[in-house]
Amino acid sequence: MAEVSPKALIPDSFMVSREDIAGQIGMMWELIKTPLIVPLLNLAVYICLAMVLMLFIERLYMGVVIILVKLFWKKPEDRYNWNPIEEDLESGSAAYPVVLVQIPMFNEREVYKISIGAACGLSWPSDRLVIQVLDDSTDPVIKQMVELECQRWAAKGINIVYQIRETRGGYKAGALKEGLKRSYVKHCEFVAIFDADFRPEPDFLRRAIPFFSSNPDLALVQARWRFVNADECLLTRMQEMSLDYHFTVEQEVGSATHAFFGFNGTAGVWRIAAINEAGGWKDRTTVEDMDLAVRASLRGWKFVYLGDLQVKSELPSTFKAFRFQQHRWSCGPANLFRKMVMEIARNKKVKFWKKVYVIYSFFFVRKIIAHMVTFFFFCVVLPLSILIPEVEVPVWGTIYIPCIITTLNSVGTPRSIHLLFYWILFENVMSLHRTKATFIGLLEAGRANEWVVTEKLGDALKNKSNNKTSIKRPRFKFGDRIHLLELGFGVFLFTCGCYDFMYGKHHYYVYLFLQTITFLITGFGYIGTIIP
């Protein structure tokens, strides 16, 4: 039987050359580019420029306010009539209110001793202090170690209670809520909350509690975070820069102008009556701290931030842990905004300008726009505009205003000013994950309520500083080391950079190649190993 050629089975009308296919694709592209692609991309440019201006005005506003606060505002101690608690020999410790200290933890093998020891070392009358270790650990060995540590301090006369739950329902919010239900808590007037890696100084309560004495409408005193491992690697230095701006500017401005800001979930003291009036802890989002703060503010309670009251803590030092943390911190506020925006707008106890501040500035610009504009403008729209030269992006939107915003962001960490350019590139990479998490929160999609406890290295960090030995990190699996999303965007930006180098006129390829390198570094999981 004669062999039949494969070509014989294909009609001649389908036998086209590669050149013909390329020509047809090019023709189709030209047909849809002018009437469809160019207008859509122009619209995207206008939307991104509007978001850039919103972010610029917000940053400029906070920059002006923080200068005025530093120059002319009274210090918190003067605004709130702070006076130390006077000890009375006759009444003993009766002048001190009873304070509950809550330490929520989950499988915190490396840091449980640090946090419990710091809480037990607080300079406060022992009969006016209750320390509550809320252990949701699932590892029986760790649970036993934590319980033994509590028993060791109890034997020294410290009023410490080890508390566990049958399930982890509600995660941290559930643990804190369950802790406040205990019978002995009804005698407590205030509650101080410290995550497992936080270590307050002995005088923490003596400096924080007096603010409540002459201010019955004060609900929260928030301290500033400091970081014991900021110099560990480039990843921790980048985090320090972002968080220092948050505490130095955002929290300070909110406290000084509206007596409102988002509770940071730890290193703060709450009036228990305010928690109860606001409806207690709720686990409807992954930002139970911000949820409580907004609800308490809507009921007229005030907050004060103390930049001089600082508590040491630990930053995530692996990219995997940092990504999970940023997902929670970006998804939660967006989800809370979805749930509370109408409640805030309809509230009659809060002044109009405070509602504008909470809805527009606190939530919309900082928690939504800030992530989206960074990703869409600099990682999507700007590179695409290079491939489609009919679309013009003004220089003021791509260079001038972003440079001013970046300069304003740098005021929090002057010592890292030399890392500012790389910080921009790294923030652009992280904006990819933050934008994705923001959409998940707004749409209340699959991972909206995902809660992954941030990995901590506590004792390993301490041993490193004492013995000058390297930290033993867990071995990376291939899936943990390789991040395909970052690598994919790295390839995309590299392609756009090459096109701009050959045919472009704005020299954006310099930025695109540097941004490509940053995407590839994070894509291959090396950001946590680079020493600054």
- Given pLDDT bands bounded at 50, 70 and 90, which one contains residue 462? low
Catalytic, out of 136, 197, 244, 283: 136
pLDDT digits (tens, 9 = 90+) for 267-282: 999 999 999 999 999 9
| Domain spans in the chain, listed from the N-terminal domain onward | 76-83+94-316
Q: Does position 77 have pLDDT exceeding 90, yes or no?
A: yes
CA 244, 247, 248, 249 dihedral sign is positive
- Given pLDDT bands bounded at 50, 70 and 90, which one contains residue 471? very low
Q: Does position 14 have pLDDT exceeding 50, yes or no?
A: no
| Higher pLDDT, residue 469 or 33 | 33
Structure tokens at 234: 């480039």
pLDDT at res. 89: 66
pLDDT at res. 256: 93
pLDDT at res. 105: 94
Q: Residues 408-430, buried b or exposed e (16+ Cβ, 10 A)?
A: bbbebbeebeebeebbbbbbbbb
The predicted model gives 5-27 an average pLDDT of 58
| Higher pLDDT, residue 480 or 66 | 66
What's domain 76-83+94-316's superfamily in CATH? Spore Coat Polysaccharide Biosynthesis Protein SpsA; Chain A (3.90.550.10)
pLDDT at res. 475: 53
Residues 6+ apart with CB under 8 A from 505: none
* CA separation for the pair 168, 20 (Å, rounded): 62
pLDDT digits (tens, 9 = 90+) for 299-325: 999 999 999 999 999 999 888 889 999
Q: Are the beta carbons of 196 and 104 closer than 8 angstroms?
A: yes
Please provide the DSSP assignment of 466-495 as one string.
HH-----PPPPPHHHH--HHHHHHHHHHHH
The predicted model gives 463-486 an average pLDDT of 59
Q: Which of 349, 174, 195, 192 is closest to 272 using CA atoms?
A: 192
Structure tokens at 409: 């962001």
197 is catalytic: no
Q: Are the beta carbons of 263 and 195 closer than 8 angstroms?
A: no
139 is catalytic: no
* CA separation for the pair 139, 130 (Å, rounded): 26
How high is the mean pLDDT of the chain?
Answer: 88
pLDDT at res. 1: 46
pLDDT digits (tens, 9 = 90+) for 35-45: 888 999 999 99
Catalytic, out of 135, 197, 244, 289: 289
* CA separation for the pair 194, 265 (Å, rounded): 8
pLDDT at res. 470: 43
* CA separation for the pair 250, 264 (Å, rounded): 12
pLDDT at res. 447: 79
Q: Does position 250 have pLDDT exceeding 90, yes or no?
A: yes
* CA separation for the pair 388, 336 (Å, rounded): 38
Q: Are the beta carbons of 242 and 227 closer than 8 angstroms?
A: no
